Amino acid sequence: MHTDPLLSGRAAVAEAQRARVHKRTLTVVVISQILGGAGLAAGISVGALLAENMLGSDTLSGLPTGLFTLGSALAAFLVGRSTQRFGRRLGLAFGFIAGGIGAVGVVAAAVAGSVPLLFVALFVYGAGTATNLQARYAGADLATPDRRGFGSSMAMVATTIGAVAGPNLIDPLGSLADALGVPTLAGPFILAAAAYVAAGLVLFVFLRPDPYLLARRIAEVGAEDDSDGAAAAGTTPRVGPGAYAGATVMVLTQLVMVAIMTMTPVHMRAHDFDLAAVGLVIGMHIGAMWLPSLVTGALVDKLGRMPMAIASGVTLLLAGIVAATAPGDSLGLLILALMLLGLGWNFGLVSGTALVVDATVPQNRPRTQGTIDVLIALSGAGGGTMSGVVMSSAGYQGLALGGGVLALALIPVLLVRRPPYVRTISRGTRR
């Protein structure tokens, strides 16, 4: 078929622009994710301990995680919808800033001893968590089909630096809080406030041109160049079955990871570990959540989405077994269990994200991504809220083992929802 050289030239210019902006986008997202990682680490590390201290009971100590993950569900919905209309930049920037405001509210609640204010502030703080996750999609907006795992994983790798540093600053931040007249356990939220606001400002100022808006324009150019004109007719393509598979992977891995992670600091404190030990375990866990993205993205692109998703379920089962069988005073085995927990979550998030991106196009992608991240956040909220109740009745061992077994449920679901194009994506075809 004859190809118009003018159209070919326009496509070449669009491709060159795509590659240039994708590289710049990854740089900006990496910087924001370093800051965002430090912000999210506060709630993970001491949120449950702060609630236990203020409530005087560990039965509801999983409630903070439930609240800020519930808040992240609302934020994921709003960020997804705003991205569809205005692009990634505004949604991500204001999501991080809202998270910073929530962190300030947590500090104020701790100073005032106000439990209602604490709950409201934790809900708002959850916006930072949702935004931190949504930023991974910015890394994949302009990626070619065989590099989508890599694009999203690079955005996640950057989170490692801040997320690992945050928990290991618990002691010095506690000292800073004491010097300021703030309760010790509120110290990490001072860091979270500054880090989240800084991340939002970086995105607002430097994420130009907007990667999603550019990806949508490039897709529209391709639609106009399509000889049959069908794609240019204005109809929004249907979401592919891979989106359901990706959503299942990410929802189940989030549920299991949050439930076990939330109760680990409470379990450790019950066995007389100090805050430094808690910070070490959670820091190693968060490192295992994000740092493997250096290679996970490449594995997802090379080995396939489905094998890595199945590996996620198996790894989470191993994490549950190790956590359930570890003696209460064994710091080494708790570190191993939580690192396996983070690794399994990482496999699930990267492979699930790639499945969702593969199954969507720019016209429906942000709305679909936002909806799925709402489900992810709600699963985390349920896991965090119920984890304290389960631990009170079945113990930490029962919680850990039950979570590991639950993770295996994703395997039969994946086999049923197996997308038809998984094996061909590395060759650049989607169906």
CATH classification of the domain holding 422: 1.20.1250.20
Task: Give me the amino acid identity at 130.
Answer: A
Three-state secondary structure string covering the chain: CCCCHHHHHHHHHHHHHHHHHHHHHHHHHHHHHHHHHHHHHHHHHHHHHHHHHHHCCCCCCCHHHHHHHHHHHHHHHHHHHHHHHHCHHHHHHHHHHHHHHHHHHHHHHHHHCCHHHHHHHHHHHHHHHHHHHHHHHHCCCCCCHHHHHHHHHHHHHCHHHHHHHHHHCHHHHHHHHHHCCCCHHHHHHHHHHHHHHHHHHHHHHHCCCCHHHHHHHHHHHHHHHCCCCCHHHCCCCCCCCHHHHHHHHHHHHHHHHHHHHHHHHHHHHHCCCCHHHHHHHHHHHHHHHHCCHHHHHHHHHHHCHHHHHHHHHHHHHHHHHHHHHCCCCCHHHHHHHHHHHHHHHHHHHHHHHHHHHHCCCCCCHHHHHHHHHHHHHHHHHHHHHHHHHHHHHHHHHHHHHHHHHHHCCHHHHHHHCCCCCHHHHHHCCCC
Residue identified by tokens 């986008």 is 25
Structural domains of the chain, count: 1
Residue 161 banded pLDDT, cuts 50, 70, 90? confident
Q: Are 97 and 147 contacting, i.e. CB atoms less than 8 angstroms apart?
A: no
Q: Is the residue at 2 inside a domain?
A: no
Residue 272: predicted pLDDT: 85
Residue 290: predicted pLDDT: 81
Residue 349 banded pLDDT, cuts 50, 70, 90? very high
Residue 7: predicted pLDDT: 40
Q: Is the residue at 122 inside a domain?
A: yes
pLDDT > 90: percent of the chain: 31
For 72-105, write each residue's pLDDT tens digit: 889 989 988 888 888 999 999 999 999 999 999 9
Whole-model pTM? 0.75
Instruction: Please tell me the least confidently modeled range out of 42-56, 246-260, 362-376.
Output: 42-56
Asked if the peptide bond before residue 419 counts as cis, ω within 30 degrees of 0, the response is no
Mean pLDDT of 354-361: 88
CA–chain centroid gap for 127, Å, is 12
Q: Is the residue at 274 inside a domain?
A: yes
For 361-389, write each residue's pLDDT tens digit: 888 888 898 899 889 888 887 887 788 88
Q: Which two tokens stand for residue 393?
A: 């009745």
Residue 428: predicted pLDDT: 40
Closest CA to 378 of 73, 125, 130, 126: 73
Q: Is the residue at 1 inside a domain?
A: no
Residue 186 banded pLDDT, cuts 50, 70, 90? confident
Dist CA 199 CA 197 (whole Å): 5
Average pLDDT, the chain: 83
Question: In which domain, by residue range, is 300 found?
Answer: 7-427
In the predicted structure, residue 68 carries a pLDDT above the cut 80: no
For 277-323, write each residue's pLDDT tens digit: 888 898 789 889 888 988 998 899 899 999 999 999 999 999 999 99
Residue 42 banded pLDDT, cuts 50, 70, 90? low
Q: Is the residue at 129 inside a domain?
A: yes
Residue identified by tokens 């639609």 is 223
